[in-house]
C-alpha cells in the first residue's frame, strides 16, 4: 500500500491524502484550502489527480477544510461513495450548501469589482481624466439595485456585452446539492467494505459532532496493512460530546502508519474546568456594567457548546437572568442536527439533560433568530443580553451588523471563543482590543474597519481559550501513549510548519519513527 499527502502538509487547511493498493484508490478527506484569497484560489481549483480513478472516499468530519472540495470532486467525474458517519453526512447537507453560497457570492462580488473598474477606465479614457465621484456613483447605481445589493443579471449581461471573462465560483449550490447524493453515512465501530480488499471502521474522535478516526485495512496476497487516520482529534473531558476513543477492537490495534493532526503540536490550552467559571465572570461583569455580550462563533460546534455551557449556568442559577439570542440560521439548522444524534453525547449530558427530559439546546432564556427583520430588531435592543452570531472569525454574516451596533460601547464585551486566523477582522479585534486593555484603556480607542467604515473599539475584548476543538500537545501525546494502539510509524500532518516539526521532534525523542510530509510527498506502507 502507498499514501500520497496532498494537503494539510505543514499547514492546517486543505486536508487530502490518497491511499492506494493494486486495485483501489481511496481518498482520505477532500478539504478546502483557506487563508489568503489569491493563494488559496489557485490551490483549490486544481485537483492533483483525476477523480475518476477513485474507488471511494472516506470523510473524517464535516468541517470545510476537510470536506469543502467534495462538490468539485463530484463535478469532475467522481464515481465512488463519500463514506462518513451519519452525523457528518447530516451536517454536510447544510455546510456544503453554505460553502457554495459563499463561493457564489464571492464570485459575484469579484465580477462586480472587475466590471466597475472596466467601466471607470472606459469613461476616463473618453475624456482623458480619471472619473470623478459623481461618475463613480453613476457606475455603482447601474450595477447595484437598491441599497447595497448587486444587480447580478445586469453585471452578467454587461460582462458578456464587453467580452470580459466572467469569474466562476469554485462550485455552485447546485453542484453542492448534487454532491450530497454521493454521501453514505454509517455508525461508528462498523466494518465497511470500501474497496476490493479494503475495509474501513470509524471510531469517535471527540472533535466535533460526527468526527471520526478512520481505521483502513488492506489484505493483499496474504499481506495485511493498517492505516489509522485521526482526522482532527478533540480534547478530553470536554462537555457535550464523547471523548476521543482510546480502547480499540483487538483487530484494529496493530497500526502500520498513524496519520495524526498537529494543529497545536507545540501549545497548551487552558484547563477545561476553568472555562465555564470564566464564561460566568464575563457575563456577570458585563451585565453589572449594563452592557451586552457579543460572541462571534462558528455555526457548527462552538455555538452549540456555548449554548450548552450557558444552559448549565442557568440551570445552576449561576448566571444573571438575561436573554440569549442565537442569530445565525445556519447555526439553528445545525443545532437541529445535534439534536438528532443523541448517541454521540457524553454520559454527563445524558444524565443532566436527556434523562431529565430536557433538550440541552433549548431553555426559556434562549431564542433562535430566523428572519433578517428579527435580526435587525435585535441589533437595536438596549437591554443587556447575549448574542451568539457567525461567522466565527467576523469575516461576514450577521456578526458584522451586531459589531456595528455594539463595538463602540464600553459597557459591552466581545467574547472571543474560537481560533482567529491571521488577517481576519476577528484577529484584529482580539489583538487591538487586548492591547487597548493592557494600556489601561487610556487614549483614543483602536479603530476597526469593516463595511468600508472605521468603528472605535471601546467594548471590552475577552478570550476563552478552553473551548478549542483540537487536542493540545499534551493531549495529542497522551492519545498516542494511552491508547492501546501498537504504532509502527507516524506521519504528522495538519499543523503549521513550526507546530508539526515541534510535535515530530517530541515523538522522535520518545522513540517513534516519524515523517512530516511535504505537499505531494508519497511513501510506501
Residues within the interface to Zn ion (CB under 5 A)? 63, 232
343 vs 360: CA distance, rounded Å: 14
Region of residue 443 (phi > 0: left; psi between -120 and 50: alpha; otherwise: beta): left
Of residues 90 and 232, the one with the C-beta less far from Zn ion: 232
Supply the minimum distance, in Å, between the C-beta of residue 61 and Zn ion.
6
Supply the minimum distance, in Å, between the C-beta of residue 3 and Zn ion.
20
Supply the minimum distance, in Å, between the C-beta of residue 232 and Zn ion.
4
CB-based contact 181:79 (threshold 8 Å): no
Of residues 20 and 494, the one with the C-beta less far from Zn ion: 494
224 vs 215: CA distance, rounded Å: 13
143 vs 113: CA distance, rounded Å: 10
Supply the minimum distance, in Å, between the C-beta of residue 29 and Zn ion.
10
Q: What cell numbers appear for 112 in the block?
A: 462586480
Q: Is 134 exposed, middle or buried (0-12, 13-18, 19+ CB in 10 A)?
A: exposed
Of residues 296 and 433, the one with the C-beta less far from Zn ion: 296
Supply the minimum distance, in Å, between the C-beta of residue 277 and Zn ion.
26
Of residues 61 and 460, the one with the C-beta less far from Zn ion: 61
Of residues 197 and 232, the one with the C-beta less far from Zn ion: 232
Of residues 232 and 395, the one with the C-beta less far from Zn ion: 232
Supply the minimum distance, in Å, between the C-beta of residue 241 and Zn ion.
13
Q: Is 422 exposed, middle or buried (0-12, 13-18, 19+ CB in 10 A)?
A: exposed
Of residues 232 and 472, the one with the C-beta less far from Zn ion: 232
439 vs 483: CA distance, rounded Å: 46
Pairing of strands 293-296, 522-524: unpaired
CB-based contact 413:281 (threshold 8 Å): no
CA distances to 65, 154, 347 from 105, in Å: 19, 15, 42
Pairing of strands 447-450, 453-456: antiparallel
Q: Which segments of 1-158 are extended strands (E)?
A: 2-7, 16-20, 25-28, 56-58, 82-85, 144-145, 149-150
What lies within 8 Å, CB to CB, of 483 at 6+ separation is: 245, 246, 247, 248
Supply the minimum distance, in Å, between the C-beta of residue 31 and Zn ion.
9
Supply the minimum distance, in Å, between the C-beta of residue 436 and Zn ion.
32
Q: Is 180 exposed, middle or buried (0-12, 13-18, 19+ CB in 10 A)?
A: middle
Supply the minimum distance, in Å, between the C-beta of residue 470 and Zn ion.
7
171 vs 42: CA distance, rounded Å: 14
Supply the minimum distance, in Å, between the C-beta of residue 83 and Zn ion.
18
Supply the minimum distance, in Å, between the C-beta of residue 64 and Zn ion.
9
Q: HSE on the CB side for 314, CA within 13 Å?
A: 19
Residues pairing with 258 in the sheet: 228, 490
Q: What are the backbone angles phi and psi of residue 484, rounded to the nearest 5°?
A: -90, 25
Of residues 20 and 61, the one with the C-beta less far from Zn ion: 61
Of residues 311 and 470, the one with the C-beta less far from Zn ion: 470
Q: What cell numbers appear for 418 in the block?
A: 474560537
96 vs 175: CA distance, rounded Å: 9
Q: What cell numbers appear for 212 in the block?
A: 471520526
Residue 286, classed as helix, strand or coil, is helix
Q: 10: which DSSP letter?
A: S
Of residues 19 and 62, the one with the C-beta less far from Zn ion: 62
Supply the minimum distance, in Å, between the C-beta of residue 8 and Zn ion.
10
Amino acid at each position: 500500500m502507498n499514501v500520497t499527502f496532498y494537503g494539510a502538509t505543514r499547514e492546517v487547511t486543505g486536508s487530502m491524502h490518497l491511499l492506494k493498493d493494486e486495485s483501489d484508490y481511496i481518498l482520505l478527506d477532500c478539504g478546502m484550502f483557506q487563508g489568503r484569497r489569491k493563494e488559496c484560489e489557485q490551490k483549490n481549483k486544481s485537483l492533483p489527480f483525476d477523480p475518476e480513478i477513485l474507488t471511494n472516499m472516506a470523510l473524517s468530519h464535516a468541517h470545510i477544510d476537510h470536506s469543502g472540495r467534495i462538490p468539485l470532486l463530484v463535478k469532475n467525474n467522481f464515481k465512488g461513495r463519500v463514506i462518513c458517519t451519519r452525523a457528518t453526512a447530516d451536517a454536510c447537507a447544510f455546510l456544503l450548501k453554505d460553502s457554495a453560497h459563499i463561493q457564489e457570492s464571492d464570485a459575484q462580488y469579484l465580477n462586480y469589482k472587475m466590471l466597475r473598474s472596466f467601466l471607470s477606465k472606459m469613461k476616463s479614457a473618453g475624456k482623458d481624466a480619471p472619473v470623478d465621484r459623481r461618475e463613480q456613483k453613476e457606475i455603482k447605481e447601474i450595477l447595484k439595485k437598491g441599497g447595497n445589493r448587486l444587480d447580478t443579471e445586469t453585471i452578467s449581461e454587461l460582462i458578456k456585452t464587453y467580452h470580459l471573462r466572467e469569474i466562476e465560483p469554485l462550485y455552485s449550490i447546485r453542484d453542492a446539492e448534487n454532491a450530497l447524493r454521493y454521501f453514505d453515512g454509517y455508525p461508528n465501530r462498523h466494518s465497511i467494505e470500501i474497496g476490493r480488499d479494503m475495509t474501513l471502521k470509524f471510531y469517535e474522535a471527540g472533535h466535533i459532532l460526527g468526527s471520526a478516526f478512520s481505521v483502513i485495512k488492506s489484505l493483499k496476497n496474504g499481506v495485511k496493512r493498517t492505516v489509522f487516520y485521526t482526522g482532527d482529534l478533540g480534547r478530553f473531558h470536554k462537555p457535550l460530546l464523547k471523548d476521543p476513543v482510546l480502547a480499540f477492537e483487538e483487530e484494529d490495534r496493530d497500526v502500520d502508519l498513524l496519520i495524526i493532526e498537529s494543529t497545536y503540536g507545540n501549545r497548551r490550552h487552558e484547563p477545561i474546568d476553568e472555562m465555564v467559571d470564566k464564561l460566568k465572570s464575563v457575563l456577570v461583569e458585563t451585565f453589572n456594567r449594563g452592557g451586552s455580550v457579543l460572541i462571534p462563533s462558528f455555526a457548527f460546534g462552538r455555538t452549540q457548546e456555548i449554548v450548552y455551557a450557558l444552559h448549565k449556568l442557568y440551570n445552576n442559577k449561576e448566571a444573571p437572568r438575561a436573554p440569549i439570542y442565537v442569530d445565525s440560521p445556519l447555526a439553528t439548522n445545525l443545532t437541529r442536527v445535534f439534536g438528532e444524534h443523541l448517541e454521540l453525547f457524553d454520559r454527563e449530558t445524558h444524565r443532566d439533560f436527556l434523562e431529565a427530559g430536557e433538550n440541552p439546546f433549548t431553555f426559556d432564556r434562549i431564542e433562535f433568530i430566523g428572519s433578517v427583520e428579527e435580526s435587525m430588531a435585535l441589533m437595536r435592543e438596549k437591554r443587556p443580553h447575549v448574542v451568539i452570531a457567525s461567522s466565527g472569525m467576523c469575516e461576514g454574516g450577521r456578526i458584522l451588523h451586531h459589531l456595528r451596533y455594539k463595538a463602540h460601547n464600553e459597557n459591552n464585551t466581545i467574547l472571543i471563543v474560537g481560533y482567529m486566523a491571521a488577517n481576519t477582522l476577528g484577529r484584529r479585534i482580539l489583538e487591538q482590543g487586548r492591547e487597548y486593555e493592557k494600556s489601561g484603556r487610556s487614549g483614543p480607542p483602536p479603530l476597526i474597519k469593516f463595511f468600508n467604515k472605521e468603528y472605535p473599539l471601546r467594548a471590552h475584548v475577552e478570550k476563552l481559550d478552553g473551548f478549542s476543538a483540537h487536542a493540545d500537545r499534551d493531549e495529542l501525546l497522551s492519545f498516542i501513549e494511552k491508547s492501546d494502539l501498537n504504532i509502527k510509524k507516524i506521519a504528522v500532518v495538519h499543523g503549521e510548519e513550526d507546530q508539526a516539526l515541534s510535535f515530530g521532534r517530541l515523538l522522535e525523542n520518545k522513540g517513534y519513527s516519524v515523517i512530516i510530509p511535504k505537499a505531494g510527498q508519497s511513501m510506501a506502507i
